[in-house]
Structure 1
Amino acid sequence: MSARRRTQVSFGGGWGTIHRQPHTGLPWSRGFTVYVPYGLRRTSPAPLLMALHGCNQTAEDFAAITRFNQLADRHQFLVVYPEQARINNAQRCWNWAQAQNQTRYGGEPGSLAGIVQRMIKDRTRWRVDPARVYAVGMSAGGTMAMTLGATYPDLFAGVGVHSAPPFKSAATPAHALSAMQGLLLPPPPPRLPQTQVLPPTVVFQGTLDGTVWPKNAQRIADQWLAHHDQAAGIGMRRRVGDPRAVRRPMASPHTRTSRRGYSVRRWQAGRERMLELWLVDGLGHAWCGGAGDFAFSDRRGPRASTEMWRFLSKHSLPV
């Protein structure tokens, strides 16, 4: 455990402290790093954000690209960065396209949920507010974040997805590429217990993503809306209305570094914003508004990290 200090930490920046839990080598065990923001009192209940890196990334890469540590300093929330080990996947991908990793308790969702539950129980180093736990991720991490929302809706109050195919869009690794290209049939809405529904979700996708094709963003929204229509039909949820659309053109004058244009649609149930879908013009397979000099990062914006936290922070689980 590192002592609190006023120098900037090396793991993704920020002015707080880091706590590392190494990978034990046991099946489904995960190493992870916790970022505690500067100024957060140990006894103060704080939200928790689980940030899941993509393929060929490390947790430290993802922290640096997304700058969630700096957001945490500003808004006083904890961040946990699980790390996929090469022994589990040679490219460090979360194994979202395996059937054993698409259910509650088992496989990777159970391991990741276990990290959150472990942090909630640890009251000596921090106080996690169990009503305000969120999961975000990019690419394979984005689909795993959706999987956590679908399999543990009683644990995660909101989900952020960047450049990822939908939940259960492939049941075997052999079908993963076809799912990423949107060539398979759209997956059906998940079946959850009648007492639970999918968490509110925010989706980012680039229009020129050649790894996860742009049609996946709409498929995620369709899957989410179909589930909530079913939940509303049995009185579990208020129906969401028609989306409100906003369009922002590229910043002028147009240059290679101009802020990217984007369109965003927002669905609400009453006054509560439940689903957002951001399509970013000309963005490839990269985190929108990320730090420069990293693979899978595009600094031109809008800043996905800021917009995701703005959306997620408005949601909490019922006490």
Structure 2
Amino acid sequence: MNNDFETAMRRAVRFTRALNVAEATRVIRDALAGRSVSDTRTSSPDIAPPRPIQRSTPFPVDPDAEIIEPPTRPEPDEPAQKVAGGTSSLRLRKPLRETVRTLREGRLAHGLFGSLHDVGLPGTARQVRQPVIPDGAQFLARSFTCTAGSRSYRLYVPASAPDRPRGLVVMLHGCKQDPEDFAAGTGMNAVAEAYGLVIAYPRQSGADNASSCWNWFRPADQMRDRGEPSIIAGITKDIMWDFGLDRSRVFVAGLSAGGAMAAVMGQTYPDLYSAAGIHSGLAYGSANDVMSAFSSMRGDGGLASGPKRLANGHRLRTIVFQGSADRTVHPSNADRIVAAAAPTGAGCAVRRESGRSAGGRIYTRTIVADPGGNPAVEYWLVEGAGHAWSGGHPSGTYTDPHGPDASCQMVRFFLDVQE
């Protein structure tokens, strides 16, 4: 590290400790770009997706981001500062090496999938409305705690089947979303009402990811009985107990980071869910850190080394939705999800069909059947669609109302409803 760069980093740390994050960001960006420390020019944040070739500054920097984060527990060599009364402060001062590492990993960006790649998508810039709850239905606020942590969640109980629902769908939202937003945008509650389903919407905590993304790329959150999979599974089991549901009627689905986490849940808990729906997500084991996550999102990578799968190798029935024009998660990731979920061996059959949605989007639907003729994988590639829930309602973020209705098609696939 040369003297100019080290000087710039020390200036950035001083600005950060003074809570002047915007100026700290400017100093660091100038240093990474090779500009002089004394250069006082201002610059606007880069909101373009990382380019596959020029990677000297691979992550966009958010001038409003916090460099001082609430810790889950003090690190051994970085004890929490004490405040009056002897309680631990919610802020930790980070040394120079930690500040640099934070920037390198992109944690000052918006978080995975949290950048503004999709400005202009229908629903991304609109005020989110609360989902409409029909008379007799409930949209309950609940929470769950286990040794891995705590999460709150919303639970939709349909008026059509308040006591004996037909099944459960666990819906995992994307980055910068929350359960209310996700419910409004996907319209899943209305589908649940029609089919008599309960829907759970776990809420990712901003304290566990600055952009409220599920941490699908961290090894500790890719294992059974560990981290976020353990919490989501615990929520699922609680609801199953409450309504007397068995595995054959329990499903998991998600969008973007939530879709990637749905893939994690399908691989780590195949004994808990009978099918998964993955929209604009990534295959289990695609990444094991932030760098490999961005690489996979660009479509540059395959599977990361050493994903921890269950020994039985069970493949969950899976339905996949992907936009061909997605600039956040490259469509090749959908191919990897399908390849991982598809049955192998003699007797498997593949069928393809094309169509046009009521909103005008052309799609290709690929169905992979197992040797018994039962659909094991269904893949919808929607032409011209971006990083958004297909057929969603514009009252939610990251929705594309012009595409085929992903919510209806997922539930149809989950329940194996004949067309």
TM-score class normalised by the smaller sequence: 0.7 to 0.9
Structure 2 CA distance for aligned equivalents of residues 105 and 26 of structure 1: 9
1:245 is matched with 352
| Alignment-derived partner of residue 174 in structure 2 | 54
Instruction: Confirm whether residue 287 of structure 1 aligns to residue 405 of structure 2.
Output: no
> AA paired with 1:113?
A
How many residue pairs get aligned? The number is: 285
CA shift, 1:222, in A, is: 1.4
Pairing 1:204–2:321 present: yes
Give the letter aligned to residue 279 of structure 1: L
Indicate if the aligned counterparts of 1:142 and 1:160 stay in contact, CA closer than 8 A.
Answer: yes
In the superposition, relative to structure 1, how do residues 94 and 75 fare at CA in structure 2: closer, same or farther (>3 Å)?
same
1:29 counterpart SS class: strand
Structure 2 Cα separation of the partners of residues 220 and 134 of structure 1: 17
Partner of 1:5: none
Whole-Å separation in 1 of the counterparts to 2:227 and 2:354: 40
1:134-183 alpha-carbon deviations (Å, 9 max, x no partner): 00000000011111110000000000000011111001122211111111
Deviations 1:83-102 (A, max 9, x none): 00100000000000000111
For the 8 Å contact 2:165–2:197, the answer to whether it is kept is no
Partner of 2:224: 104
- 1:30 partner SS: strand
Instruction: Name the SS of the counterpart of 1:131 in structure 2.
Output: helix
SS for the counterpart of 1:86 is coil
Indicate if the aligned counterparts of 1:46 and 1:127 stay in contact, CA closer than 8 A: no
Map 1:32-43 → 2, pairs under 5 A: 32-42=153-163
Instruction: Give the direction of change, closer, same or farther, for the CA distance of 1:49–1:11 in structure 2 (3 Å limit).
Output: farther
Match of 1:254 in 2: none
Q: 1:254-289 CA distances to partner (integer Å, 9 max, x unpaired)?
A: xxxx42000010011223110011100100000000
Given candidates 166, 169, 181, the residue that maps to 2:283 is: 166
Partners of 1:11 and 1:25 lie apart in 2 by 29
The question of whether the paired residues in 2 share the 8 Å contact of 1:12 and 1:60 is answered with: yes
Say if 1:240 and 1:267, in contact at 8 Å, map to a contact too. no
Give, in whole Å, the separation in 2 of the partners of 1:130 and 1:277.
23
Alignment pair present for 1:216 and 2:355: no
- Structure 2 contact 186–392 (Cα < 8 Å) conserved: yes
Q: CA deviation at 1:117?
A: 1.0
Which residue in 2 is equivalent to 1:6?
A: none
Identity of aligned residues (%): 36
Cα distance, 1:192 vs. partner? 2.8
CA contact (8 A) 2:266 2:276 kept: yes
Amino acid aligned to 2:207: I
The structure where strand makes up a greater share of residues is: 1
2:185 partner amino acid? I
- Is 1:310 matched up with 2:412? yes
2:367 corresponds to which residue? Answer: 266
Equivalent residues of 1:13, 1:67 under 8 A apart: no
Q: Which amino acid aligns with 2:173?
A: H
> Could you say which residue in structure 2 is the equivalent of 1:79?
199
Q: Distance in 2 between matches of 1:215 and 1:288?
A: 18
Tell which structure's C-alpha radius of gyration is larger. 2
Partners in 2 of 1:293 and 1:19 — Cα distance?
Answer: 20
* Larger mean Cα displacement after TM superposition, 130-139 or 92-101: 130-139
Matches within 5 A, 1:139-150: 139-150=256-267
1:294 maps to amino acid: G
2:376 corresponds to which letter in structure 1? M
1:278 aligns with 2:380: yes
- 2-side partners of 1:240 and 1:190: how far apart? 29
Alpha-carbon distance in 2 for matches of 1:48, 1:149 = 15
> Which SS does the other structure have where 2:224 is aligned?
coil
Give secondary structure in 1 for the equivalent of 2:335: helix
Cα pair distance change 1:267/1:27, threshold 3 Å: closer
Give, in whole Å, the separation in 1 of the partners of 2:357 and 2:292. 36
Moved more, 179-188 or 32-41: 179-188
Contact 1:167 1:187 survives alignment (8 Å): no
Residue 224 of structure 1 deviates from its aligned partner by 1.9
After TM superposition, give the deviation of residue 131 of structure 1 in Å. Answer: 2.5
- The alpha-carbon deviation at position 51 of structure 1 amounts to 0.4
- Distance across 2 between alignment mates of 1:51 and 1:64: 12
Residue in 2 that maps onto 1:13: 132
Coordinate RMSD, CA, aligned: 2.2
Aligned equivalents of 2:146 and 2:340: distance in 1?
35
Write the letter of the residue equivalent to 2:170: M
Is the partner of 1:40 in helix, strand or coil?
coil
Q: CA deviation at 1:190?
A: 6.9
Structure 2 SS opposite 1:81: strand
Question: How far apart are the structure 1 equivalents of 2:185 and 2:199?
Answer: 14
Task: State the distance in 1 between where 2:198 and 2:375 align.
Answer: 23
Corresponding residue number in structure 2 for 1:235: none
Long gaps (5+) in structure 1: 1-9, 233-238, 252-257
In the aligned structure 2, how far is the partner of 1:210 from the partner of 1:113? 31
TM-score relative to the length of structure 1: 0.83
- 1:192 corresponding residue in structure 2: 310
C-alpha spacing 1:46/1:248, structure 2 compared with 1 (3 Å): closer
SS at the partner of 1:33?
A: strand
Q: Distance in 2 between matches of 1:288 and 1:90?
A: 26
The alignment partner of 2:132 has SS state of coil
The structural deviation recorded for 1:71 is 0.6
- For residues 172 and 129 of structure 1, the distance between their equivalents in structure 2, rounded to whole angstroms, comes to 34
Contact 2:171 2:202 in 1 (8 A): yes
- CA–CA distance in structure 1, aligned partners of residues 348 and 130 of structure 2: 42
C-alpha distance in 1 between matches for 2:187 and 2:133: 8
